[in-house]
Each structure stands twice: as C-alpha cells, then as structure tokens.
Chains A and B, each alone.
Chain A
C-alpha cells in the first residue's frame, strides 16, 4: 500500500488522544498551573448584547456566507478552536465538536471528524457556524452550498497568530471583550513564565519528539518557537533541509546530546522515560542520564488553544530544574 506523505504531514501535529487519559493529565496540569480557561466560561447577557453590534463588523466567514450576529448552533471540527470557543465564553453556543476536541471535558463531543468531514453529518446539527482548521475535501464550498458559514482557523505560525484566532472567534460569537481578556491574561502569563527563566550561555538544547521514529519540530513551527521564547536551542533546526517537521536520525540525537527531551508522543505511541532510556545508545544522552525527560500530553503540545500556556509553564519548570542542578 502507498502512503501519501502530505497526508501524514497533515496529520502529524494533531492530537491522538484517548479522552480518559487526557482528562487525567489535564486535571494534573490545571492543578499545577491554575486554570486559564474555565474562569471565563460564563457570559452575562449584557456583554453578549453589547457585543452583538460589533460582532459581524470585522470577522467574515471564509466561504462567503454571511455570519449571523450571534451564532448559537456552532460546530467545531478543530480541537484548538473548541478550546478557544469555551475559553471566550461561547461554550453554550456550541452544539457539536469533533472526536479530537478533547478539551474541555464537557464539550459536546461527537463522532464528527475534521480529517474526513462529512457535510451531511455536519448539516444534521443544523449549524449556523462551522469552525475547521483546514479546508479538507472542499468542506468550505460544500457548506456554502447549504448556506452555512465556515471559519477556517489553521495552525498558526506563532503565539500572535493563536491570540488572533481567539480574538476572531470571540468576535464571531459575540464575546469580543472576553476574548480580549483571555488574550491579555495569556500574554501576561507567557511574559512572566519567560521572565522566570534565565537564558543560559551557551543555551540549553532541547529535542522535541513527535513520535518514536524521531520526527521532530524545528523552531519554525508553532511549538518550536515556544522553546525559542525560553532561550532553548532546538536540535531539529540543523535538519532544516528536511523541512520544519524533520525525521531525525537516532545517531544525530545521541551525538547532539540534548539537555532536555520533551516527549509529545506519550499518548499516541506510549513513550515514556523508561522506553526512551531503553533505546540503544540513548543512555549516553545528558537528558536521559539526569532524567530530564519531560512527558507531556500529545494534545496539549500539538494544539494552540489557551492551554498552550500550561505547556510553556511545564517546560519552563523543567528548564529551571536543570539550571538549578548545574
């Protein structure tokens, strides 16, 4: 059988998550860092009414269908957008989310898929707004023919892009001020996390693992630029010839001797400190020797919703621990 590499690449940054495990990890994360999304979940009627006038002014559906002033039958087929919608207080307007929208746990999860979207299955929910991360299988024009507006919120290049999507979703759903509040809080948290880490010279090195065949993410990716913010040097950057999601060789990883290994394949692929330490030759890597292997939830590390702050805090804590041991 043949595998289309484009398809694989498209699937790569996505969450492959079993809900039960995800919920436990998320609970731990929230306990450690404080919630950045649940406090804004309730919206007052007044703010919604005030926002109603401005909501359609700036945001336009990407498939040309007019957006309603106050959509209340939203279908989200993107995990990050689901998180954003609930964070800005539009959760009550969401009627269905896709199978990978694992957060928040109370989102109305269905069997809908953002990878193989079925326009009839989506239309069954009678949506007045559909949010997707990619225009897969011409879903935009298909929904346009049913007069359903679509917003495409693709993986952003950096945090600014993620903030922009939160603002946009806030405006489109009638919660612009709450969206602004979420973004302001995220900016402040990111700033304080970044300030709490002192930048080492030479910088600490990091290896971000996407799966157990050593696919990684360079500093050009959304996740990669978070490491840059913390002053880390990404070992995947030297493999730029192979693109921003290169497959590194085991030998190169060992030779690079990274100070920190971040496993974003704990859920999809069952990786852990134990499996990493058992790989041939890896016991020579500083991060393995000093047990500086950070196991993160795949879905948190592959999406760009407000929880990305928790991921950043987790990495920062690990970096501070490594620095204190030096």
Chain B
C-alpha cells in the first residue's frame, strides 16, 4: 500500500465527500440489491455457458453431473464419457477463462478510468495490446518452432509489460507536476513504436502472419484448463490489488493536487494501480488475445446505472464483466454454429447499442 495509516483515514473521509452517487449507497459503498443482482447475472451466465453448445446435452444432466463431482452426495453422473469430456474439457475451461478475462478487463478498465480521470481509458491505454503483439511476433519470427507452445503467451506477457514500463518511464519523466496527459501520450508513442516493430517483422517474414493473427483473434475458442491455470494467479492478484484501491480511486477523482494535499502519494498510488492493472491485463491478453470494449462499457454501465463511486464501480464491474464476457462467448459460438465468430465482434456489436441505451436514459455525471 502506498499511503500511511493516518493519511488513509483522511482519504477515506474525503471519499465520502467525492462526487455524489446517484442514489444512497450502503456503508461500504456497495448497494446490496445491485450486488445480488450482479452475482445472479454472473451465476446465470456461467450456467448458460456450460449448458449451451453445438453438441446438445441436457441442462439438467449437466447440473446432475456437476453435483456428482461433490463429495458425500453419491449422485451418479448421467453423462457419457464423450459428453463429459465436452462439458468439462471443452466448455468449462472456456467459461472459466471467459469469466476471468471479462472480470479482469472490466476491473482494469475501471481502475484506469479512475486513475487517469479519463472516461475513454481502457485497459489497453498504455500499450498492453501493442506490446503483447510485438512480443508474440518477435518470438514467432526468430523462433518459429516456439509457435503453438507455452512460450507464446509468455512472450506476449513480457512484451506487454515491457511496453507499459517504457510508457510509464517516459511519461513520468516528463510529467514533473504530476498529471496524466504526458503518461497517456507516452502510451500512444510506445504503442505506435511497438506496432511498427510488429509490422516490420511481419512484412519481412510473412510466415509469422498467420500465427500472430490466430493468436490476436484467438478469443476463447481454444481455451484449456492449462491456460486458465497459467493466467489465473496473475489476474486474481491484480484484481485483488485494484479492488483494495477502490476508495483511493474515489480520492483521485478530485484531482492530483487536492488528493496530494490530503496526504495521498499520488504518483506512487498511480504507479501501483498501473502495475497491477498491467500484470492482470497482460495475462488476460496473453491467453485470449485482444478483446475490445469490455473494459470501457462495463465500468461505464455500472457508473451510469448504480453509482459514480469506485467503491461500487470496481467490485460490480468485476462481477458484470465476468458475466458479460461469458455470455458474449456463448453468442460467439452459437450465432453461426457450428462455426465461430470472433468474440470481439460480439462484445462490440451487442455492447455498443446496449451502452447507447444506458447512456440515453441516464444523466451523465462525469467522473
């Protein structure tokens, strides 16, 4: 944590005075009704994700099979070995990865919007996606045999972290007075450079194109438990750090100088939030490619419907982001079934009009 005890209290007091929520919120800033609603939405999405697919398997049989995995109940799974493999080896890791990635992108998006005080901030703001793309391309261009191995997500992860580190160092070195404009510009600069590196390598060695595109557009279609295990620890750690900073994000909404005068070390706090969001987003991108829109629409939807306090936005974005991406993936694999649609098409196609409706029926209260 970046602030000392005494200052934290001031910060929390100030958070209570921060720009007003639309409706009264609970003591912890999280309205109970919305919390249960979001939880119900997530559970519903997970069930739909597990039961819907091109291979028809009864929903009740799947529930029974799930129960049969619990100890002491002695329920017999009604699924054949093939059905069981489809549910637990093909669908379940896909649903799990979708939930994790959706939660991560939404939480990282909300944290970025708060810390940069910029409604257009998304988890890819500081060059995560371009860095990941460059990392993956460099690996495939120079070590073609590494294609399709675990080194690919690792290289993407490293590339993403390197890009954000470079952007942060560049941005913070010029922004002496604090402020986020220089940081965002640095992100744009690094992203452009990383894209140039990637494109140059691809032009020279076109055999890398198909590999890199397959990975970038990868989505969740090839998800395995192994990938879930590879990425989950980073995402959980990152989400935990960001969740624990939800009050601090409220403090940051008043501006760097004011927050600083209240005892918050703004620069250090922002660094911690950027590091946490970067680690989690990089892990998400490394295993699922680039999935747009989730990091922007989910936090804004919560902001417009529930509250403009990050005490509500961050945890509710986590639940709704997870459910949203799981449902988007269900659509991606059913709309053209048995063919797949890239999930980014779904998140934008269904997400954008929904967000437009929310925007129309709400009063924009700013950040």
Contact = CB atoms under 8 A, between A and B. Distances in A.
B221 interface: yes
B210 A270 contact: no
B211 interface: yes
A278 to B, nearest CB: 9
B338 A249 contact: yes
B58 interface: no
B85 A254 contact: yes
A248 interface: yes
B3 to A, nearest CB: 37
5 contacts: A213-B217, A249-B339, A252-B55, A268-B211, A270-B148
Interface stretch (B88-96, B154-162, B169-177, B295-303): B88-96
Interface of A: 1, 3, 5, 8, 11-12, 16-18, 99-100, 113, 115-116, 211-214, 238-239, 241-242, 246-252, 254-256, 267-271, 275, 279-281, 283-284
Interface residues of B, number: 45
A242 B54 CA distance: 15
Contact of B86 (A3, A246, A248, A281): A281
B206 A211 contact: no
Interface in B203-242: 203, 206-207, 209-211, 213-214, 216-218, 221-222, 224-225
B336 A212 contact: no
B147 interface: yes
B88 to A, nearest CB: 9
Contact of B210 (A99, A113, A238, A268): A268
B145 A250 contact: no
B217 A269 contact: no
B53 interface: yes
B328 interface: no
Nearest to B81: A284
B39 to A, nearest CB: 27
Contacts of A280: 85, 89-90, 93, 224-225
Nearest to B290: A1
B290 A252 contact: no
Contacts of A115: 206
Given A269-B210, A281-B85, A249 B203 contact: no
A207 to B, nearest CB: 11
Contacts of A212: 148, 214, 222
B340 A247 contact: yes
Given A16-B207, A268-B210, A269-B214, A250 B339 contact: no
Interface of B: 53-55, 81-82, 85-86, 89-91, 93, 129-130, 133, 144-145, 147-149, 195, 198, 203, 206-207, 209-211, 213-214, 216-218, 221-222, 224-225, 290, 333, 336-342
Contacts of A255: 54-55, 86
A243 to B, nearest CB: 8
Given A1-B129, A242-B341, 8 more contacts: A16-B206, A16-B210, A116-B203, A241-B339, A252-B54, A254-B86, A279-B222, A283-B85
A116 B202 CA distance: 11
A175 B176 CA distance: 74
A195 B169 CA distance: 69
B225 A254 contact: no
A239 B336 contact: yes
Contacts of A17: 207
Given A239-B336, A254-B86, A269-B147, A100 B206 contact: yes
Nearest to B145: A270
A242 B221 contact: no
A249 B333 CA distance: 7
A264 to B, nearest CB: 11
Nearest to A15: B207
A248 to B, nearest CB: 6
A251 B54 contact: yes
Q: Which of B54, B149, B216, B342 has the most CB of A within 10 A?
A: B54
Contacts of B54: 249, 251-252, 255
Contacts of A256: 338
Contacts of B225: 280
